Each structure stands twice: as structure tokens, then as C-alpha cells.
Amino acid sequence: MEQNRSQKKALLVVLDSVGVGALPDAAEFGDAGADTVGHIVRTRGLDTPNLDRLGLRAIGGTSFYQGKEGVTGCYGKAAERTHAKDTTCGHWEIAGLVMEKPFRTYPNGFPEEVMEEFEQKIGRGTLGNCTASGTEIIQRLGDEHVATGNPIIYTSADSVFQIAAHEEVIPLEQLYEFCRIAREMMMGENAVGRIIARPFVGTSGAYKRTENRRDFALPPEKDTVLAGIAKAGMDVVGIGKIEDIFCRVGITKVDHTTNNHDGIEATVKYAGEPLSGLVFTNLVDFDMLYGHRNDGEGYGAALEYFDRNLPRIQQAMGEEDILIITADHGCDPNFPGSDHTREYIPLLVYGKHLRQGVDLGVRATFADIAATIYDFLGLGKWEIGTSFWDDIRR
């Protein structure tokens, strides 16, 4: 049965870190030559017929371009206007907020005075205070952490203050409280985009991170389309870590999934519900489990798993709904290092009522996604970005 016009919704799915080639300024970030999807295609192959049908391999200027034959979706790619490559800036720009000044990063660790204040407030010492891979640092410092009870502090090329702790040494609620303390501290001159709890379990030589991660982000400095949609009395469902990235601002319902399987299942569920507004999903495994761990084989398998489940989302959608599949940055598992990479993001759009095979080209900002969703929902023109709704509607 066709939905009432008031019940149409946009499904926005972020494949976390699935970049499609280096941006022109990638060299400024040390990322010249990064190509998350392209390198996976070349190193292991990629069987994604449903994404290809939507236009993944029809995106112009990509290393894995195969042509437009048989494409039924609308497709393109977008550049990030914010001078950054982190999760928060990427998602905020997708939601229509471009940051003129990106969050501060700490490539040499945090200042001594910051660490001294943090240790005084939590009543114990700390370990690490360096740039590191999360999986590597818990193996390197895990034994000392278990012996001393001191949390492991580390950062990356992103604007993050990460606190790792064994769940049997520092219980989850205490770890989260340490994060809240750090969040209150890391403001103003020392502001970081996110404080991240990184709990782990296991024994010496076999420590393993758990899914009890929590992100403590700053609230958006200006309104995003999430807030705009919510203010209009519509639904805004945040699936996965969306609630953390936006500090729940503009989100009316939360489904905090912690992996791709559960995130996909939640998306299928909400795709079939008579909502009006936005369902915003982040699928974190691409980045967390595979990109940062330089696991190209696992990354490719995760993309193929999403592809197999994509028809379920499409079939659950209402007649007037639209689906936008994108990313927030790159994290090329076949590129030196373990950090995010400065890349274009894919833009794949599907709807049972949309035009087919529309080439959306290269968008100047991720915010074009926000502008399009706002336009699609009949809420007018968003202040940042250019809507492509008129290009894809029948």
C-alpha cells in the first residue's frame, strides 16, 4: 500500500570509512594515493552486485569504474569541505554543518598540564599518552594496566581522546565516568571532537576490545538537518553511534546498535515502519574492525555482507521513501598506517519512485546530502549545500 505523503522518510546509511579515492588535498594529510574501495577491489576483488546496480562502479573518476550499463540508482561522489577526515566532522557535514575550523588533533600526545589535571581528577595515573592503534596499544600496555589499574590514554590522526581499560580492572560505569571527566576538561583551547571509551577483556597476549565502546562528543555548534527535521515535528531515528556523534541533539528515537549486523537489522526494521522524517544509520565495523586494523580481506567481506542485505532494506521501504548510501571519510586498509584517509565519499540513491541512472557527478560538499533530504521532506532550502532532489525525482 502506498504511504501517505506525510509518512515519507529518508533512510541515510553511512558505511563508516568506505571512501572512493583520495581528495585533491589528500597529500596535506599524508594520504596521497589512498583509495579504500579501489584497493580492496584490486587486492581481493569485490562481489557487490546490488551496490553496483545502484551505481557504485559507475561513479566517475574512480579507479574501479566499470561503466553505466544496468545501473538503476542515482550515483556520484562528494568532497569534504571541512578540512578534516574524522568521524564527527564527516557526519556533521553530511547533516548540513560545515566546520570552518576543524577540531584540534594531538599527534604528539596531550599536553603535560592536561594529563596532570586528568590524573588528579580520576585519582590515579595514566599510561600511554601517545598516538597509537587501539588494538596494538592494549597488547603493548595491557599487562601494565592490569597490574597498576591506570587507564591507557591514546589518540590518533583524528581529534580523539581515547581511554582504554580492561572491564575487570575498571568497570564500565567507572570508565564512562572517566570519559565524562575528560569531556568536561577537553573544551575550549584543548577541545577534541570525541572522548572515546575503549573497554577490552582477555588475558596477557590475547586482549580484545569489546562492543561496549561509548563516544562522548561535543554537541553540534549550529543546527543540523536533524534538529531542523525534529523541530518540524518529524521523526529522527539514530541507529548505531549516531546519538553519540550528535549528542542526541535533534534525535527523537535511539537504537544504539554496536555492529554492522545489528545496524542493518535495525535499518530494515525502521525502513518498514510508517515514519515521517529521517532514519540515520552508522555501520561501524568497516572502520573499527577492518580499516584501522589494516584488514582488507575482512573489509571486503563486510562490504559483501552489506550488499547481500541491501535488497532487504529496499524491499522494506515505502513507496515514497528514499535511501541514500554514503560514507564519512576513508580508512584504507591497504594504505600505510592505521588512521582515517582523506577521500571522496560515495553517493548512491535509491527510491521506488525515482529516476534511474542519474549521474550526480562530484558534489562540492557532503552537505548536499542534508540539503537534498531537507528538500525531499518538503521543509524548504537548507542553508548549506545544494539539493539534487529535482535531479532525481520523477
Q: What is the pLDDT of residues 38-54, one digit of tens each?
A: 999 999 999 999 999 99
Amino acid at 129: N
Decide: 145 and 169 in contact? Cβ < 8 Å: yes
Name the CATH superfamily, with its identifier, for domain 112-217.
Phosphopentomutase (3.30.70.1250)
The average pLDDT across 241-269 equals 97
How is the chain split into domains, by residue range?
5-99+221-392, 112-217
Q: Which fold has domain 5-99+221-392?
A: Alkaline Phosphatase, subunit A (3.40.720)
Q: Is the pLDDT of residue 225 over 70?
A: yes
> What cell does 333 get?
586498509
> What cell does 379 get?
521543509
The average pLDDT across 148-154 equals 98
Decide: 344 and 85 in contact? Cβ < 8 Å: no
Distance (Å, whole) CA 261 – CA 280: 16
Binned at pLDDT 50, 70 and 90, residue 32 comes out as very high
Name the residue with cell 557487490: 48
Q: What is the pLDDT of residues 159-183, one digit of tens each?
A: 999 999 999 999 999 999 999 999 9
Tell me what the pLDDT averaged over the chain comes to: 96
Q: What backbone phi and psi angles, to 5 degrees, belong to 12?
A: -115, 110
Distance (Å, whole) CA 318 – CA 303: 25
Binned at pLDDT 50, 70 and 90, residue 6 comes out as low
Q: What is the pLDDT of residues 81-121, one digit of tens each?
A: 999 999 999 999 999 999 988 899 999 999 999 999 999 99
Binned at pLDDT 50, 70 and 90, residue 2 comes out as very low
Question: What's the CA angle centered on 302, arms 297 and 304, to 5 degrees?
Answer: 95
Q: Is the pLDDT of residue 379 over 60?
A: yes
Residue-level pLDDT at 158:
86
What is the SS3 string spanning the chain? CCCCHHHCEEEEEEECCCCCCECCCHHHHCCCCCCHHHHHHHHHCCCCHHHHHHCHHHCCCCCCCCCCCCCCCEEEEECCCCCCCCHHHHHHHHCCCCCCCCCCCCCCCCCHHHHHHHHHHHCCCCEEEEECCHHHHHHHHHHHHHHHCCCEEEECCCCEEEEEEECCCCCHHHHHHHHHHHHHHCCHHHCCCEEEEEEEECCCCCCEECCCCEEEECCCCCCCHHHHHHHCCCEEEEECCHHHHCCCCCCCEEECCCCHHHHHHHHHHHHCCCCCEEEEEEECHHHHHHHCCCCHHHHHHHHHHHHHHHHHHHHHCCCCCEEEEECCCECCCCCCCCCCECECEEEEEECCCECCCCEEEEECCCHHHHHHHHHHCCCCCCCCCCCCHHHHEC
129 — alpha (psi -120 to 50), left (phi > 0) or beta? left
Q: Is the pLDDT of residue 189 over 90?
A: no
Distance (Å, whole) CA 36 – CA 2: 38
pLDDT > 70: percent of the chain: 98
Q: Is the pLDDT of residue 372 over 60?
A: yes
